[in-house]
Amino acid sequence: MIVIKRNGSEVGFDITKIIAAITKANDTVDESSRMTPIQIQRIAQSVELSCQKMNRSPSVEEIQDLVEHQIMAHGAFEVAKNYITYRYTRSLVRKSNTTDDKILSLIECCNEEAKQENSNKNPVVNSTQRDYMAGEVSRDLSERILLPADIVEAHREGIIHFHDSDYFAQHMHNCDLVNLEDMLQNGTVITGTLIERPHSFSTACNIATQIIAQVASNQYGGQSISLTHLAPFVDVSRQKLRGVVLSEMEAIGARPTEEQIDKIVEDRLREEVRRGVQTIQYQVVTLLTTNGQAPFVTVYMYLNEARSEREKQDLALIIEETLLQRYQGVKNEDGVWVTPAFPKLIYVLEEDNIHEDSPYWYLTKLAAKCTARRMVPDYISEKKMLELKGDVYTCMGCRSFLTPDRFTDAGIGNIANAGNYEPGKHKYYGRFNQGVVTINLPDVALSSGGNLDRFWKIFDERLELCHRALRCRHDRLKGTPSDVAPILWQYGALARLKKGEVIDKLLYNGYSTISLGYAGLYECVKYMTGKSHTDPSATPFALQVMQRMNDKCAQWKAAENIDYSLYGTPLESTTYKFAKCLQRRFGVIEGITDKGYITNSYHVHVQEEINAFDKLKFEAQFQALSPGGAISYVEVPDMQNNLEAVLQVMKFIYDNIIYAELNTKSDYCQECGWDGEIQIVEENGKLIWRCPKCGNTDQSKMNVARRTCGYIGTQYWNQGRTQEIRDRVLHL
């Protein structure tokens, strides 16, 4: 059994250390109050048994809590008092250098929790370590100075999660929709250099990747771009290539027909589109931003976003090439084609591509083929989004959605000074999210003891705590001068404000959103009702919980003119943190706190047997109540030889749910060449990845791709998330 030390490093469980610690406390009291060696041995054994029941690696603090409890249970109150006093004294000493210890453990790469904090960050490289070091300092400043003590304590106890506290000290926001159209059509500035409107498609793609990198380095969440914004440059290249071809023909005295010229031009154009798309894919995968990772970028593919039939056809050409290249993958260090994590792709299902007789059905078939092999694209239903949101637009990264545009109705106008603003037309690109705070729903339920009246009272109190925490995020951004991130606020990605101008007007009137996240609806409902929220008798309570959070967001929005929105949190490392906190606060409760993870947002529990269509249909009603962002998935086996089934799922998505994805597996062992599923096994109480063919367990010598929380992860996962991945059942 592995134990997590305070600095994040791992050691083996040693019962003699527990016996020694209790014995020291025992020796400090009068002989009449002392425990016997047999009692001390029993306490240590009970603690060991409790740790084993956790089904994960306990922390030193958790072990010490168990020791305290057992000493008290044996009636040795004087011993317990001295043990607690000693712990408190040592904690005061540690407080002075906790940040230093964490930073040193990061540099020496012995902090296992930090290694597994982000499945797309390599914790060994200098850029990641530098970001983690800065993050520890920022987190320390935030917790000691910038945030109220009760919010900090609630975050530490896992009652809420204050996301990205390692970036809070800076005036940074979460995620955004990049106004790529404005930047390409009207020019931008990158590191003091003027970038004018590109004169070819390939140049536009190159500039787009530079914009992506700059944006990623000036915020901490995801970003999205639309291929529609690149589509006009296909015709720019077409006209340019036509001129070149005509000049070449004239130079050799040739007299080709118009059809022949068109054929030559379109062939060359196809090659330029291929190179441009390749630039985006390879640049995004190979870029390392200032936070030590590839940009969390989503590429949006929506045919009906095009403004003319010519542009739609050119957009289809770009989409086709994007899907073809993603299907192929990228080469790893062994030269083997593997699944890349980025860019994430979203394909909109619409009337022009969802039926066999639709003009762009060939793209949908290609998307299905790509999904079966590479897990992308994900799918947005034009039909359901129009029905529920009244408009169709992409999310900001993996799932965070803006509220519908209300500028025209409110008479707000072009407050961002965007160069492509059109009065009367909805605006989504150039908008952003201010940040996220997540409520731990199972903690609300467990704190109520199952009493319904008490549940709603505690729920309201916790929601107000989240509200105040969200206001901290909002207030931290107020007064931010545009100069802190010129690419965002001055040169078109989000706005074109003047130098020195503050961004405050973009924080109100619905220009940006701020997200109330939630996690563990399944466990919450299971504890309160004794049943899964999929049970018809329990579903109404689950919907009540969702509605309560929506009502609070509406109430806060009406009072403050800030667009609070409910958001299905994509827990990655926090699923493990919440699970550990619940076990520490309430013990191990079967079916509720007996795992190293809690269920993401409203999802059906990963172990629950349910077919793909029932799962999507059930979760659709919760997605409708999660307007700030949500995504549903179905877990599927290798579907490369069953594309018809993939297409049936896609058609079901179109008719039933806004946003969904299919999860499969895409692995490769660099030691033996195995390209089947790399397995999760337990070794010395720890979950590890192991090649079933050669037994390789070195993660640096394998490529593992799994959907983690909307994005595909390819590096490391903590023990809680790894257990969740192992526990997933197939839905098809």
Place of tokens 């023990």: 719
Q: List for the chain the helix, strand, coil content (%; round to 5).
A: 50, 15, 35
Catalytic residue IDs:
174-175, 396, 398, 400, 433, 567, 572, 710
Whole-number Å distance between alpha carbons of 458 and 447: 8
| Three-state SS at 475 | helix
Whole-number Å distance between alpha carbons of 617 and 704: 30
Are the beta carbons of 2 and 12 closer than 8 angstroms?
yes
Q: Is the bond preceding 442 in cis, omega lying within 30 degrees of 0?
A: no
At 552, list the tokens.
């609070």
Whole-number Å distance between alpha carbons of 190 and 175: 20
Please state the three-class secondary structure of 493-505 as a single string: CCCCCCCCCECHH
Whole-number Å distance between alpha carbons of 588 and 594: 5
Within 449-485, where are the H helices? 452-477
Name the nearest CA neighbour of 407 among 301, 505, 307, 504: 505
At 654, list the tokens.
């179109």
Whole-number Å distance between alpha carbons of 620 and 634: 13
Are the beta carbons of 376 and 688 closer than 8 angstroms?
no
- Angle subtended by helix axes 309-328 and 258-286, to nearest 10: 50
**For 226-242, b where at least 16 C-beta lie within 10 A, e where not — what string?**
bbbbbbbbbbbbbebbb
| Three-state SS at 36 | coil
Whole-number Å distance between alpha carbons of 24 and 454: 42
- One-letter amino acid at 660 equals A
For residue 405, which phi and psi values (nearest 5 degrees)? -60, 130
Residue 12 per-residue DSSP state: E
Whole-number Å distance between alpha carbons of 43 and 50: 11
Place of tokens 């609300």: 444
Residues 6+ apart with CB under 8 A from 36: none
Please state the three-class secondary structure of 260-277 as a single string: HHHHHHHHHHHHHHHHHH
Whole-number Å distance between alpha carbons of 623 and 657: 8
Are the beta carbons of 420 and 185 closer than 8 angstroms?
yes
| Three-state SS at 542 | helix
**Run of H or E residues at 600:** none
CA angle 240-242-244, nearest 5°?
A: 75
Are the beta carbons of 247 and 295 closer than 8 angstroms?
no
| Three-state SS at 400 | strand
Pairing of strands 344-349, 378-381: parallel
Place of tokens 């579903």: 539
Are the beta carbons of 280 and 209 closer than 8 angstroms?
yes
Are the beta carbons of 276 and 299 closer than 8 angstroms?
no
At 510, list the tokens.
């619905």
- Angle subtended by helix axes 539-560 and 612-623, to nearest 10: 30
